[in-house]
Amino acid sequence: MEAVHEVFNLTIPELGEIPALEKPCLLCGRRDFTPLNSFVLNQRRFHTVRCRHDGMMWLDPQPTEAFYQELYSQRYHAAGPDDPLLEQATLDVHSNPAERQRVAEIRLQQIEEFAAPGRLLEAGFGHGAMLITAASRGWQVVGLELDQGCVDRMHEAGVAALRGSLLDYDGEAASFDVVGMYSVIEHTLDPAAHLEKARALLKPGGLLVLRLPETAAEGPPASLIAHTYHFDAHTIMVLLRRCGFEVLRIDNFALWKPTRYPGELWNMNVVSRKKNRNVPTL
C-alpha cells in the first residue's frame, strides 16, 4: 500500500487506549477501498478511505460506541478553541450568539418553505439556538443531546430537552412533522439506523433536514476522530432513498476552514420527505 498523507500524530493521555473496529462500506458492504489520508491517535493509526465502487468515504477503523459516548457527553461541547483533537467542536459551540441566531433563522426559513409550524425534533442540538428560535416561531420542539450541560441550558430556557441519542429516544411513532440533524449524521456509527429511526418518528410526508459536510473525492482536509462517515451529494442521496426518503433539495450552506490544517470543506443542507412505502409507484 502506498504511503498516504498523515494529517497528525497525537497522544492525548486522558483518552487512553482507543478500541476500534474495521468497517465495511455503508453503501455496498465491501471493503475494497483507496486510502486517502491518515492520522495517528494514541499510537493507533486511522485512515480516511474511499470505496472503489460507489465513492462512499469513511473512517477506518472506527472507535467503538463507548468511546464516542464518552467523547460527546464529556469532552465535545466543552472543548476549547485550542483543543487539537476536537477543532470541529469549536465551530458552533464557540461562535458568537448573533451568528448562531442568524443561522437558526435561515434553517427555519428553509424548513417553513416545506412545512407549517408543528412538532419538531432536533437530535444533537448542541448550543440549542435552533430549538429556541423554532419555539419562538410557533413550533412545538423537543431536543436530544448527549451532553447534560446542553440539556440543562435548554431547561433553563424553558425548552423541552432530553439527554440521549436519537436511537435511544422512545418518542411516539409517526408523531413529528420535522426531524432535524445538523452536523450529526457524519458523527454516527450507524447513519442508516439514524435515518430509519427518524423515518419512524415522522408523520407521513414529514420532513427530515440534515446538515453535513459535502466531501470532495480526495477526502476531507482534516479527518478527525469525530467524523466517522464522509458523504457527498450523491452518497447521501443514495442512503436517504434506501431509508425511505425522497430528496427535495440539496444546498451548499457554509464553508468550513480548519485553522490547523490546510484546505476547506463545504457543508450542505439536505431537505427530504418521508415516502409512504405502501403506495405503489408507477
Q: Which residues from 114-133 bind Zn ion, rule CB under 5 A? A: none
Q: Which residues from 131-160 bind Zn ion, rule CB under 5 A? A: none
Q: How many helices (H) and strands (E) does the chain have?
A: 7, 14
Q: Which whole-number Å values give the CA distances from 222 to 38, 39, 97, 117, 213, in the listed order?
A: 9, 9, 26, 37, 12
Give residue for cell 498516504.
4
What number of other Cβ atoms are within 10 A of residue 29's Cβ? 9
Q: Which is nearer to Zn ion, 53 or 257 (CB)?
A: 53
Q: What cell numbers appear for 25 in the block?
A: 462500506
Residue pair 182/170 in contact (Cβ under 8 Å)? The answer is no
Least separation in angstroms between CB 243 and Zn ion = 16
Least separation in angstroms between CB 64 and Zn ion = 22
Q: Which residues from 177-236 bind Zn ion, rule CB under 5 A? A: none
Q: Which is nearer to Zn ion, 25 or 239 (CB)?
A: 25
Cα-based angle 167, 188, 256 (whole degrees, multiple of 5)? 135
Q: Which is nearer to Zn ion, 32 or 251 (CB)?
A: 32
What number of other Cβ atoms are within 10 A of residue 26's Cβ? 21
Q: What cell numbers appear for 163 in the block?
A: 439527554
Q: Which is nearer to Zn ion, 223 or 235 (CB)?
A: 235
Q: Which is nearer to Zn ion, 126 or 219 (CB)?
A: 219
Q: Which is nearer to Zn ion, 183 or 223 (CB)?
A: 223
Least separation in angstroms between CB 185 and Zn ion = 17
Least separation in angstroms between CB 249 and Zn ion = 25
Least separation in angstroms between CB 20 and Zn ion = 20
Least separation in angstroms between CB 29 and Zn ion = 7
Q: Which is nearer to Zn ion, 58 or 182 (CB)?
A: 58
Is residue 54 at the binding interface for Zn ion, with CB under 5 A as the rule? yes
Q: What cell numbers appear for 169 in the block?
A: 429516544
Q: Three-state DSSP class for 104?
A: helix
Q: Which is nearer to Zn ion, 56 or 202 (CB)?
A: 56
Q: Three-state DSSP class for 154?
A: helix
Residue pair 211/268 in contact (Cβ under 8 Å)? The answer is yes
Least separation in angstroms between CB 92 and Zn ion = 30
Buried b (16+ CB within 10 A) or exposed e, 106-116: ebbebbeebbe
Per rule CB under 5 A, count of chain residues that contact Zn ion: 7
Cα-based angle 86, 253, 159 (whole degrees, multiple of 5)? 70
Dist CA 88 CA 187 (whole Å): 11
Least separation in angstroms between CB 218 and Zn ion = 17
Q: Which residues from 14-53 bind Zn ion, rule CB under 5 A? A: 25, 27-28, 51, 53
Which residues make up the interface to Zn ion (CB under 5 A)? 25, 27-28, 51, 53-54, 56
